[in-house]
């Protein structure tokens, strides 16, 4: 079922609880009573069209309203992606890290294996952080510049420099292996490690890793299927301009 | 084991959705996309290179008649037809056939069979899930942080052989990254923790 503007936002969340962090990233807090999606968006000054396209894209893997999404300014998409990034960096990653650290305190013989997991996770976290920083420092500014050039119809000197320094093709090439380590970590924890005494905590960590992976997949779907094609189109029209 | 990817091309929404949810219970597979448009088939197949293509014969594009040919070299796409015409499988040289009235288990069994075949082909050592002594030795060197070239030199084998071993190890263990393989090596006492820098 597609999410529509006249639905109650509370019902939307009953439909798919994975949307809780998504609406939170829009700055919308729970406790909205029986208000509709449209009303809550208006109250929080969130663009209704963008909100609907995005939650639907999250909710349904097959939902790809490319044309509608294409009409949303890249600026809004970038802002949203940045919010997601900061929730990864500031919340999700450190939450899981804390859990792994707590596992270490259980003082069992497995302690050194948990240290192994911890170091591995640390490595993954650094990799993801680096990837995110690259997007924020290189990719997003490039996207915004491309949009600016498209709008203006001319390339200013400052924009020319940024435009020449990057191309979305480079981004596509580099944009694949961030989840490799995450999958390895899950595999190791599921297949190759004897769980420590605190199995509840151990299971929770694995489940959290699955959720993180799912969320990252949602996230990169927006990047790969919405932002990238949009930029490719804009790049083409700039080439014609030149 | 690497995940197998499935692409569904079918113009009926109900069948598309139904198939997706039916195949959901297959392990280690992922339905990468479903399409309902004949024009897109060639492009998307070439772009995402699925392991299995489940397609309604009506959607088989005329401008690239032999979808399978593109995949002969290395990509080994399996073609499954979904239709109500029983003899169509032979006609189009497909690997499998799903009838509209097939039950859930029939469909899942068919898919599982094709997946098993694929995995058999992709793993050189068919009998063993666990890695061989030779592979253990290679894994040990990988875990110690050596490059393919260094491993080849130390073991007096070609780089090509090292690469093949690496591929097999990754496939058998389901671990891709070097740091992941290192963790495995430590857990299985191929190297000690102190040996890793």
pLDDT > 70? residue B70: no
User: Which pLDDT score, from 0 to 100, does residue A124 have?
Assistant: 93
pLDDT > 60? residue A10: yes
Residue with tokens 């113009």: B11
Residue A239 near chain B (CB below 8 Å):
no
- Record: contact B176-A180, CB cut-off 8 A: yes
What residue in A sits closest to B130 (Cα-Cα)? A192
Q: Which helix (H) or strand (E) holds B195?
A: none
pLDDT > 50? residue B124: no
Using pLDDT thresholds of 50, 70 and 90, give the confidence band for residue A179: confident
What residue in B sits closest to A116 (Cα-Cα)? B183
Strands B4-9 vs B29-35: parallel, antiparallel or unpaired? parallel
The region, left, alpha or beta by phi > 0 then psi within -120 to 50, assigned to residue B27 is beta
Residue B186 near chain A (CB below 8 Å):
yes
A120-129, A170-179, A183-192, A212-221: the lowest-pLDDT one: A170-179
Going by C-beta distance under 8 Å and a sequence separation of 6 or more, which residues neighbour residue B93? B68, B79
Residue B118 three-state SS: helix
Residue A54 three-state SS: helix
**Residues of A14-35 as b/e, b for ≥16 C-beta within 10 angstroms?**
eeeeebebbbebbebeeebeee
- Alpha carbon distance A231, A220 (integer Å): 15
Q: Which residue has the higher pLDDT, A151 or A12?
A: A12
pLDDT > 60? residue B103: yes
What DSSP character marks residue B73? T
C-alpha distance from residue B168 to each of B2, B9, B139, B157, B162 (Å): 11, 32, 11, 16, 10
Mean pLDDT over B48-72 rounds to 77
User: Which pLDDT score, from 0 to 100, does residue B71 have?
Assistant: 59
Q: Which residue has the higher pLDDT, B181 or B37?
A: B181
- Record: contact B176-A183, CB cut-off 8 A: yes
User: Which pLDDT score, from 0 to 100, does residue B126 have?
Assistant: 43
Instruction: Give pLDDT tens digits for A76-120.
Output: 889 989 989 999 999 899 999 999 998 887 666 667 788 889 999
User: Which pLDDT score, from 0 to 100, does residue B107 have?
Assistant: 92
Residue B85 three-state SS: coil
pLDDT > 50? residue A24: yes
Using pLDDT thresholds of 50, 70 and 90, give the confidence band for residue A66: low
Q: Is the dihedral of CA A162, A165, A167, A170 positive or negative?
A: negative
Instruction: Give pLDDT tens digits for A34-49.
Output: 999 999 999 999 999 8
- Determine which of B129, B175, B189 to mutate to test the interface with A (most A C-beta atoms within 10 Å): B175
- Record: contact B177-A113, CB cut-off 8 A: no
User: Which pLDDT score, from 0 to 100, does residue B127 have?
Assistant: 42
Burial of A175 from C-beta contacts in 10 A (0-12 / 13-18 / 19+) = middle
User: Which pLDDT score, from 0 to 100, does residue B3 have?
Assistant: 77
Residue B184 near chain A (CB below 8 Å):
yes
Q: Which of residues 160-199 of A touch B (CB under 8 A)?
A: 180-181, 183-185, 187-188, 191-193
- Alpha carbon distance A120, B14 (integer Å): 44
Could you tell me if the ipTM is greater than 0.90? Answer: no
| Sequential DSSP letters for A188-236 | IIIII----S-HHHHHHHHHHHHHHHHHHHHHHHHIIIIIHHHHHHHHH
- Record: contact A184-B187, CB cut-off 8 A: no
Q: Which residues of B touch A184 (CB under 8 A)?
A: 175-177, 179-180, 183
Using pLDDT thresholds of 50, 70 and 90, give the confidence band for residue A177: low
- Alpha carbon distance A34, A40 (integer Å): 10
The predicted model scores a pTM of: 0.70
Burial of B161 from C-beta contacts in 10 A (0-12 / 13-18 / 19+) = middle
User: Which pLDDT score, from 0 to 100, does residue B167 have?
Assistant: 92
- Alpha carbon distance B24, B27 (integer Å): 8
Give the distance from residue B180's alpha carbon to the nearest chain A alpha carbon, in angstroms: 6
- Record: contact A62-B173, CB cut-off 8 A: no
C-alpha distance from residue A193 to each of A186, B129, B143, B155 (Å): 10, 17, 17, 30
Short-list B68, B44, B47, B54, CA closest to B23: B54
User: Which pLDDT score, from 0 to 100, does residue A109 have?
Assistant: 64
- Alpha carbon distance B186, B192 (integer Å): 6
Q: What rounded mean pLDDT belongs to chain A?
A: 87
What residue in A sits closest to B1 (Cα-Cα)? A187
């Amino acid at each position: 079922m597609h999410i529509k503007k006249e639905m109650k936002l509370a019902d939307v969340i009953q439909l798919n609880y994975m949307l809780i962090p998504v609406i939170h990233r829009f700055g919308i807090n729970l406790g909205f009573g029986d208000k509709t999606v449209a009303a809550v968006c208006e109250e929080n000054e969130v663009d209704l069209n963008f909100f609907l396209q995005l939650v639907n894209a999250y909710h349904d893997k097959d939902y790809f309203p490319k044309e509608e999404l294409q009409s949303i300014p890249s600026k809004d998409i970038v802002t949203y992606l940045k919010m997601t990034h900061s929730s990864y960096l500031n919340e999700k990653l450190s939450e899981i890290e804390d859990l792994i650290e707590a596992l270490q305190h259980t003082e069992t013989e497995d302690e050194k294996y948990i240290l192994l997991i911890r170091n591995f996770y640390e490595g993954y976290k650094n990799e993801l952080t680096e990837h995110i920083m690259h997007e924020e420092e290189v990719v997003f500014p490039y996207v915004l510049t491309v949009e600016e050039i498209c709008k203006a119809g001319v390339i200013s000197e400052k924009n020319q420099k940024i435009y020449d320094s990057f191309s979305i093709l480079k981004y596509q090439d580099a944009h694949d292996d961030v989840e490799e380590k995450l999958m390895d970590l899950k595999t190791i924890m599921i297949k190759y490690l004897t769980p420590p005494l605190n199995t509840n905590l151990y299971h929770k960590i694995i489940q959290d890793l699955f959720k993180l992976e799912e969320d990252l997949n949602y996230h990169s779907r927006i990047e790969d299927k919405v932002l990238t094609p949009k930029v490719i189109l804009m790049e083409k029209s700039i080439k014609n301009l030149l | 084991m690497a995940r197998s990817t499935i692409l569904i091309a079918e113009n009926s929404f109900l069948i598309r959705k139904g198939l997706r949810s039916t195949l959901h219970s297959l392990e280690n597979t992922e339905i990468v996309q479903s399409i309902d448009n004949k024009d897109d088939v060639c492009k998307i197949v070439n772009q995402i290179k699925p392991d299995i293509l489940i397609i309604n014969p009506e959607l088989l594009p005329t401008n690239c008649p032999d979808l399978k040919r593109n995949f002969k070299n290395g990509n080994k796409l399996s073609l499954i037809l979904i239709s109500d015409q029983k003899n169509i499988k032979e006609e189009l040289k497909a690997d499998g056939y799903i009838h509209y009235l097939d039950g859930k288990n029939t469909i899942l069994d068919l898919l599982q069979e094709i997946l098993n075949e694929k995995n058999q082909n992709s793993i050189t050592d068919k009998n063993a899930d666990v890695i061989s002594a030779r592979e253990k030795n290679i894994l040990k060197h990988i875990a110690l942080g050596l490059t393919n070239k260094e491993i080849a030199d130390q073991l007096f084998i070609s780089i090509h052989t090292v690469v093949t071993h690496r591929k097999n190890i990754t496939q058998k263990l389901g671990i891709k990254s070097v740091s992941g393989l290192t963790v495995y090596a430590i857990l299985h006492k191929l190297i000690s923790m102190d040996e890793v820098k």
